[in-house]
Structure 1
Amino acid sequence: MPFALLDRWRAPAPDPRKVAWIGAQDYAHRGLHGSGVPENSRAAFARAIAAGNGIELDVQRSGDGQPVIFHDDTLDRLTSESGPTERRSAAQLGTITLSGTAETIPTLRQVLAQVGGKVPVLIEIKSDRKVRIAALCLAVRRVLEGYTGNHAVMSFDPRVSRWYWRHSPHTVRGLIVSEGEDRALPGKIRRRLSLWHARPDFLAYDVRDLPSRFAAAQRGRGLPVATWTVREPEHDERAAAYADAAIFEIREGDA
């Protein structure tokens, strides 16, 4: 009971009308990617739009301060280039091909123009303790200004949601949570402190941690729960039972 009271005070539940769209569909994790279609590419987003799926995507900040769509903080895994993503300008990143295809690294502005409100978008803002949160969040907010399609920002870093609560309260904001091996009392305390600091409108929860008493308590008081990354039949069942939406990847043979 004390935690429930503190949750309502420190992290109030959102107006249901603000977040009703979160649970209205599932979301393709980094777009509908697969063989020949790289993750976080315009081709993957086009496939998701055609299928009527929402889109989950990742944002990094380029060297010239623009939000670009890329998961990693280095180029090595997904391109033939190497080194930190943040050392290249958006224009330079836009010439780098992904995974041996003709797809290149797009900006957030380009992808939102492509989506055009046809499906909702969950924007994961990638962060670590070295990142200047205010600069990154402001860069994303500037791109979102005037965009009328359903969209939300989210991050593992509670500072991101906190920034939007303070500076862009109409933006739907989420806290990404993974309990992992951190389920003892110190981990429970850290999750609560993150919740109170972030003041999110919804949670994006690791499907491997469901069912979760913490997630259920927040969902029960009005915070929608999306769950990631849903890849297996068992994950489908957990998502259906314990979450409002799935952030999924297509399994081999399902495409």
Structure 2
Amino acid sequence: MLTLRTLLLWSAATALHGQQSPPPQPQQQPIVCAHRGWLSPAQVENSLPVMEKTARAGVAMIEFDLRRSSDGRLYLLHDATLDRTTNATGPIRSKSAADLGRVHLREPETGRLAEAIPTFDQFLVWAQHQQIELMVDLKDAPPAQVVAALKRYGLLSRAILLTFEDATARAALASDPQVRVSILTKTQAEIDEALKTAGQHPIDLYLPRTAERALFQYAHQRGQTIITDLMDGPDQQFAANGEDVYRAYLKDRPVDILVSNHPEALRQTLGNLR
């Protein structure tokens, strides 16, 4: 049985790709989500120009990360420090918005400077004009602040707040009765506890990629949207072994949303598996 979230996501994908067929079962055709907004790790992560290319490639969802400046402004950045991905150093929490306005992202392979670190507001202005779903990894961003911004730009219904800790999940659930919250669950007991904690609040279940098939089946039986990721596993094996890697992984694993470092290739492969 398809969940409401899967139907909504399929509708978004239909609008993007012009598909006319009925929505496929989630284990046959999951929604593909671009990890850090890119089409491959060779690109700049959490970058608006890169996300534009990803959207144009037909990927239906992008995942991105949020961090706070010293004066509380939100920026797209994965790490707690600026060292790895920019031309600056030190914790982002030690920098003001004025400081960060002079910091640029770096291309991972060449080290060439790209655009300035995008603010969350800049991203939301861009996203308003895209038919794309949003997966927001909150990192240290306050859920209430994120939800307020999403509502201000009319994007709350297209977003999932990604949480990996209990305190963050509870804060996200308390931020708004309508916002979708993804909760990491590693056992059947944790799934039961997440559903009990959420009550009537809409939640998605993020299952570890390495979880047993039985856990995916259990989450599916509970009627929840299931998210997992393929990084550090099938994504890496795909180049050498082709689409059989994805076929083997998805066998008996009902999944609604797949987060991938190679979303365009994965989406094309999933089309071949139908």
TM-score (norm 1): 0.74
Residue type at the aligned position of 2:180:
V
Secondary structure of the equivalent of 1:227? Answer: strand
CA contact (8 A) 1:205 1:226 kept: yes
CA apart distance, 1:198: 5.7
Aligned positions of 1:66-81 closer than 5 A? 66-81=73-88
Residue type at the aligned position of 2:204:
F
TM-aligned CA distance change 1:103 to 1:58, over 3 Å? same
Aligned CA RMSD, in angstroms, stands at 3.1
Q: Does 1:20 align with 2:11?
A: no
Secondary structure of the equivalent of 1:206? Answer: coil
Q: Does 1:47 align with 2:57?
A: no
Q: Does 1:148 align with 2:150?
A: no
CA apart distance, 1:20: 3.3
CA apart distance, 1:229: 3.0
CA contact (8 A) 2:32 2:257 kept: yes
Distance 2:126 2:97 in 1: 17
CA contact (8 A) 2:36 2:62 kept: yes
CA contact (8 A) 1:69 1:105 kept: yes
The C-alpha deviation readout for 1:19-42, integer Å capped at 9, x for no partner, is 633465311101125476311111
Distance 1:152 1:119 in 2: 12
Q: What is the aligned partner in structure 1 of residue 166 from structure 2?
A: 158
Unaligned runs of 5+ in 1: 1-14, 128-134, 180-186
Q: Does 1:238 align with 2:249?
A: yes
CA contact (8 A) 2:3 2:225 kept: no
Distance 2:113 2:41 in 1: 10
Q: What is the aligned partner in structure 1 of residue 21 from structure 2?
A: none
Q: What is the aligned partner in structure 1 of residue 219 from structure 2?
A: 218
Q: What is the aligned partner in structure 1 of residue 137 from structure 2?
A: 124
Q: Does 1:172 align with 2:180?
A: yes
Secondary structure of the equivalent of 2:152? Answer: coil
188-197 vs 224-233, which moves further: 188-197
Distance 1:236 1:89 in 2: 47
Secondary structure of the equivalent of 2:169? Answer: helix
Aligned positions of 1:167-206 closer than 5 A? 167-177=175-185, 179=186, 193=193, 196-197=196-197, 201-206=203-208
CA contact (8 A) 2:87 2:113 kept: no
Residue type at the aligned position of 1:112:
L
CA contact (8 A) 2:136 2:160 kept: yes
The C-alpha deviation readout for 1:46-91, integer Å capped at 9, x for no partner, is 1111112110111112211122111111112212322111111234
* Paired-residue identity, %: 25
TM-aligned CA distance change 1:35 to 1:175, over 3 Å? closer
TM-score (norm 2): 0.70
CA apart distance, 1:208: 2.7
Q: What is the aligned partner in structure 2 of residue 208 from structure 1?
A: 210
